[in-house]
Structure 1
Amino acid sequence: LTSSPGFLTGVCGVAVGYPLDTVKVRIQTEPKYTGIWDCVRDTYHRERVRGFYRGLSLPVCTVSLVSSVSFGTYRHCLAHICRVRYGSAEAKPAKTDVTLSGFASGLVRVFLTSPTEVAKVRLQTQTQTPAQQRRRSSASGPSVPAVPAAGPPTCPVPPAGLPPGPRYRGPLHCLATVAREEGLRGLYKGSSALLFRDGHSFATYFLSYAILCERLTPAGQSQPDVSGVLVAGGCAGALAWAVATPMDVIKARLQADGQGRRRYRGLLHCVLTSVREEGPRVLFKGLLLNCCRAFPVNMVVFVAYEAVLRLTRGLLT
């Protein structure tokens, strides 16, 4: 039951933050955008509201597993460390214990999320929709019934100049296409950057949450109230993304690479190329958006987490 709160926290997090995540990925991977509002306007102008939810179905389907594993790993690691060091899983953990458990949670998460992150990023950066394709085809002129001609029938030739249809028709088609064309390594593209991102950011995430909860707990109580959890969760999420953003940029670029000519040979080459072409500031693209998105998302996540955790503890006692 220690991993059961992860389902609700994951669903809440995806529901609140996905549109901003799409904007963040596009800013990080497409240099044409000058800022957040430029990306928002362009996305809405070309794809309307639907454009902000590209690739949503796969994270929603896998969020229960990923969040349960993340929070479950953290709880189990922390309990095991406390049992070994202090003789009881219920002992108060030290800050080092929380940091190590959070780091382990981030590392375990990578093996589950890498394929879904690849599909999500590829779909989020694929801007042409099937509806646009149909509109462009219909705009080429009304169809005129063909007059039968003598001789064998010929295959229809598509009108010249029309753009190709979308490369990926959905999350499962994207995963199948990547696996067929790039192999298993394609599904784990950018996983090295993902390891650096999630390991350190989850250590920061859980450590900052524990410290803030301790500071915000009223005298005479063992836990903070709802407002304290909201503030602690929001700040923990923002701090974690502040640490994660540089590797998040590199991860997104590596995973988007493959839609056409490949630019990057690996993590270090991506870092050096990006910094050389766009300056050191490129590593902080989307930082403000990440932090703004993380605050409300993780307010909801930790309130849901604490509520479900208290409920499961009550059922066990």
Structure 2
Amino acid sequence: MSSTSQQPEAAIAAAAPKKEDIRAGVMAQVRSLVAGGFGGVCATLVGHPFDLVKVRLQTAEKGLYSGAIDVVRKSVAKDGLRRGLYAGVSAPLLGVTPMFAVSFWGYDLGKTIVRATSTLNPDGSLTLGQIGFAGFFSAIPMTAITAPFERVKVILQVQGQKKLAPGEKPKYSGPLDVVRQLYREGGVRSVFRGSAATLARDGPGSAAYFVTYEIIKKKLTPTDPVTGKPKGELSLTAIMVAGAAAGVAMWIPVFPVDTVKSRLQTAEGNVTIGGVVRGLYSQGGFKAFFPGFGPALARAVPANAATFVGVELAHAAMKKMFD
């Protein structure tokens, strides 16, 4: 065989993905899943009380609470510290692990897609637009998990604020009972009510989330004074600051959408997004879309600091064990 006929074969062989590269890519995806799941558990344990206050303010009848502190006071007085502030926590604990796992996996996959289909910065890093795309992409698979679990969570959180008559029992006994009754009432569609609103919130929210994290992380990374290149590891304090900033940046542009989603997922009967929006606006104008905004931002700081610390620590632990 001539050398000229061998050249195309050599080129094809060089272009074909190597088994080592495929294995490394798969392992990177698995690590993203594991690290994201661990970060999600950390976020839930730290942030659930703040989230409960937010949802109750978003869905309560006008005048029921005077503010966030009043929600905490009445919830604890009624159900005690643990049940009062962690009502509905089992649903997000079960859902958040795969939700965050899929989110960080989707973000990693989005970055892989960007690298394979577009031009990067001269140093090989992603542009902010490319990071934003990867962040938005991460919300697409995540919605399939987020929407039903958040529907269960908010229903249980709102149920906890309802005053029961003597001898009256709550409608739902727990997360599985919520799913069972929702399915009986309206099938899969009822269980997944609010999916469009969830994606409308999490798409742009995730884009802002990851872009902000990468910006702050880059600014806080130690650099060589001579070359200006990154030097050394990012401290846990810096990770916490970047994560906290990412959480705040995520909520600011999408909070009104979250209010609509909470109302949509807790409403009785057949409701539409348009109907919820009109109802909210008629109740209090634009201000009606922002109840619980303070608790949401208050939760975003510690919860997302915990998320990224959990993710980074999980990656570090897996690197130490397997590399």
TM-score normalised according to structure 1 size: 0.83
- Per-residue CA deviation, residues 27-49 of structure 1 (Å, 9 max, x unaligned), is 00003222111211111222222
Q: Please, which of 55, 61, 69 is the counterpart of residue 37 of structure 1?
A: 69
Question: 2 CA distance for matches of 1:128 and 1:205?
Answer: 31
Give the drift of 1:76.
1.5
Aligned twin of 2:51: 21
Q: Please, which of 257, 265, 268 is the counterpart of residue 271 of structure 2?
A: 265
Equivalent residues in 2 for 1:191-270 (5 A)?
A: 191-220=195-224, 221-222=230-231, 224-258=234-268, 262=269, 265-270=271-276
Question: 2 CA distance for matches of 1:39 and 1:281?
Answer: 19
Give the drift of 1:276.
1.1
Question: 2 CA distance for matches of 1:192 and 1:34?
Answer: 31
* C-alpha RMSD of the superposition: 2.2
Aligned twin of 2:181: 177
Structure having the larger proportion of residues in helix: 2
Q: Please, which of 43, 58, 66 is the counterpart of residue 91 of structure 2?
A: 58
Which runs of structure 1 show a deviation greater than 6 angstroms over 4 or more consecutive aligned residues? none
Question: 2 CA distance for matches of 1:274 and 1:87?
Answer: 44
User: What amino acid does structure 2 have at the position aligned with 1:5?
Assistant: A
Q: What is the percent sequence identity of the aligned residues?
A: 31
Question: 1 CA distance for matches of 2:292 and 2:125?
Answer: 36
Aligned twin of 1:78: 111
Does structure 1 conserve the Cα–Cα contact (< 8 Å) formed by 2:120 and 2:126? no
Q: Please, which of 39, 48, 65 is the counterpart of residue 9 of structure 1?
A: 39
Q: Cα gap change, 1:224/1:162 in structure 2, threshold over 3 Å: closer, same or farther?
A: closer
* Unpaired runs of at least 5, structure 1: 134-160
User: What amino acid does structure 2 have at the position aligned with 1:58?
Assistant: A
Count of matched residue pairs: 283
Q: Cα gap change, 1:91/1:83 in structure 2, threshold over 3 Å: closer, same or farther?
A: farther
Give the drift of 1:126.
0.7
Shifted more, 200-209 versus 45-54: the winner is 45-54
Aligned twin of 1:275: 281
Give the drift of 1:53.
1.4
Q: Please, which of 289, 292, 295 is the counterpart of residue 289 of structure 1?
A: 295
Aligned twin of 1:107: 140
The residue matched to 2:303 in structure 1 has which SS?
helix
Equivalent residues in 2 for 1:129-144 (5 A)?
A: none
TM-score normalised according to structure 2 size: 0.82
Q: Cα gap change, 1:92/1:314 in structure 2, threshold over 3 Å: closer, same or farther?
A: farther
